[in-house]
DNA sequence: GTTAGCATGTAAGGAGTTACATGATTTT
DNA sequence: AAAATCATGTAACTCCTTACATGCTAAC
């Protein structure tokens, strides 16, 4: 089949469209800003991906008659766009929902690598509890490997590199250790919930899993 | 000229070879593990880059007669490899040193984006004090933009997304804020040193700039 | 004696960005 | 009326990974 379609981009698109239908333009903003997964996803990769998903029947497009959803839209003209140009709103099809569940159910190594973890975590609300736990634990061991690697580098090269390189490693190590602590909290929280298991297909977890009781401030 | 040669890879290679000559194999390990800049740089991009730098006269190769630098090398046979196969040690040429200074002196936006900052920071020891400060401040405003962006997303979507997405944003925000605090310490430290300016060409900073007085446990 | 690690390279292909091309709508 | 933002799309190009191809040396 098609050419592109990196698994992560596909997952992000299907996952976001599962929440609410939207334009490609809005999808890109969400993927870039809200998920923060791709630093700045370009249209050059998003639109072709959308066309492929459409061809595969995983998403459907509808022509938007309401015009762009600008900030002050409600106040001014209700005049329809009269279809001068193609404004498309994409939504998830039944096949698309199936595919999304399939992707979320895999829970393999791709789900805990740097590029995959964020996307998978963002859609934990639709992910089975056992898969969630597996992904969190996979991510933790991945980061623990990195901890060891930096620690080793730090011991090996101590005194042989300048203070800036040392500081970079020190800060990197602390960042990774901090993320491991965060994962430990999440895993503990998941294990508590695990005593009351739930089905993935019907109204999956929202408000039940309450990771970390710290107030934000 | 040549095809590839992404600026960051070139900088990493020249910067590391400035510290000490080494094999391509060792370079890859340093770039992957020690600098941690590229998650896992492949030979497929490193060796071609090396060939281009060689052709450009920025680095030079010498045939290694001592054999691979294995962990227990010193103990066993001192028998030379007799040149059966090409084992190459690369070192920086005079032109390469010039080019390295040129790259380190730019201090433009590329030096404070996600992919560039780590590499540039690792070679701060060879970077002019004013450029160091500029890069640190550029990085800080970049991260402050991101802080605002996440905070905005958090306010906009509060109550509309599930607890996992909220937790992802909360953790992301804290990570960025933590890095900003780190940068503030570094900037303060640089400003203190700035009262005694120094020339870049002669024995640039090592031990003078002492970022953050925390002991490392 | 076989596995793991050292060491160098190439060809094919994937994944994404940049730059280009177009046009409506909203804000200043 | 100009500038910013919304909105969609394509073609060329860059950079990198994967898989292949080869061979030595150390450790178990």
DSSP A53-113: HHHTTSEEEEE--S----TTTTTS-----TTSS--EEEEE-HHHHHHHHHHHHH--GGGTS
**Residue A69 in contact with partner chain B when CB distance is under 8 A:** no
Question: Tokens 């199936």 label which residue?
Answer: A98
CA–CA separation, A47 vs B80, rounded Å?
A: 58
What pLDDT, in 10s, does the model give residues B163-182?
999 999 999 999 999 999 99
Q: Is the CB of A2 under 7 A from strand D?
A: no
- Give the bases of strand C that a protein CB approaches within 7 Å: 5-12, 14-19, 23-27
CA–CA separation, B46 vs A56, rounded Å?
A: 38
Q: CB B62: neighbour CB atoms within 10 A?
A: 11
Q: Among candidates A125, A149, A56, which has minimal Cα distance to A94?
A: A56
Q: What angle do CA A73, A74, A80 make, to 5 degrees?
A: 70
Instruction: Assign residue B154 a region (left: φ > 0; alpha: ψ between -120 and 50; beta: otherwise).
Output: alpha
Phi, psi of A13 (to 5 degrees): -65, -50
Q: Looking at CA atoms only, how far is residue A125 from chain B in angstroms?
A: 7
What pLDDT, in 10s, does the model give residues B1-51?
445 568 899 999 999 999 999 999 999 999 987 776 667 899 999 999 999
Asked if A23 and A89 touch (Cβ cutoff 8 Å), the reply is yes
Given an 8 Å threshold on Cβ–Cβ distance, is A167 in contact with B211? Answer: yes
Given an 8 Å threshold on Cβ–Cβ distance, is A211 in contact with B167? Answer: yes
Report the residue of chain B nearest A118, measured CA to CA: B168
Measure Cα distances from B50 to A194, B23, B62, B65 in Å: 52, 10, 13, 20
Q: Looking at CA atoms only, how far is residue B105 from chain A in angstroms?
A: 17
CA–CA separation, A187 vs A199, rounded Å?
A: 19
Q: Output the pLDDT for position A89.
A: 96
Q: Output the pLDDT for position B217.
A: 30
pLDDT average per 10 residues of sequence, chain A (217 residues): 72 95 94 75 95 96 65 36 68 97 92 90 95 96 88 78 90 95 98 69 45 40
What pLDDT, in 10s, does the model give residues B107-150?
888 899 888 899 999 999 999 999 999 999 999 999 998 888 88
CA–CA separation, B146 vs A91, rounded Å?
A: 29
CA–CA separation, A85 vs A96, rounded Å?
A: 26
Whose C1' is closest to the CA of B3: which nucleotide?
D14
Q: Output the pLDDT for position B64.
A: 74
Q: Which member of A123, A164, A210 has the closest CB to residue B122?
A: A164
Total-model pTM: 0.82
Strand D: which residues 85-124 of A lie within 7 A (CB)?
86-89
What pLDDT, in 10s, does the model give residues B69-106?
443 333 333 333 433 467 999 999 999 999 999 999 98
Q: Work out whether strand B59-63 and strand B88-92 pair parallel, antiparallel, or are unpaired.
A: antiparallel
Strand D: which residues 76-105 of B lie within 7 A (CB)?
76-77, 81, 84-85
């Amino acid at each position: 089949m098609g050419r592109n379609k990196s698994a992560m981009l596909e997952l992000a698109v299907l996952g976001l469209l599962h929440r609410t239908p939207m334009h490609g333009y809005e999808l890109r903003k969400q993927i870039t800003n809200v998920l923060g997964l791709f630093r700045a996803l370009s249209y050059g990769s998003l639109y072709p991906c959308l066309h492929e998903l459409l061809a595969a029947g995983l998403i459907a497009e509808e022509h938007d008659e309401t015009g762009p959803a600008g900030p002050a839209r409600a106040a001014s003209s209700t005049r329809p766009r009269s279809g001068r140009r193609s404004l498309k709103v994409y939504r998830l099809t039944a096949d698309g929902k199936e595919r999304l569940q399939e992707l979320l159910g895999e829970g393999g190594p791709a789900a805990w690598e740097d590029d995959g973890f964020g996307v998978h975590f963002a859609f934990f609300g639709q992910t089975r509890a056992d898969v969630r736990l597996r992904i969190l634990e996979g991510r933790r061991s991945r980061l623990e490997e990195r901890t060891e690697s930096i620690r080793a580098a730090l011991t090996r090269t101590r005194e042989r590199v300048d203070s800036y390189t040392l500081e970079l490693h020190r800060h990197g190590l602390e960042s990774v250790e901090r993320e491991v602590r965060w994962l430990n909290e999440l895993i503990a929280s998941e294990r508590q919930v695990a005593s009351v298991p739930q089905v993935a297909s019907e109204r999956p977890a929202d408000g039940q899993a309450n990771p970390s009781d710290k107030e934000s401030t």
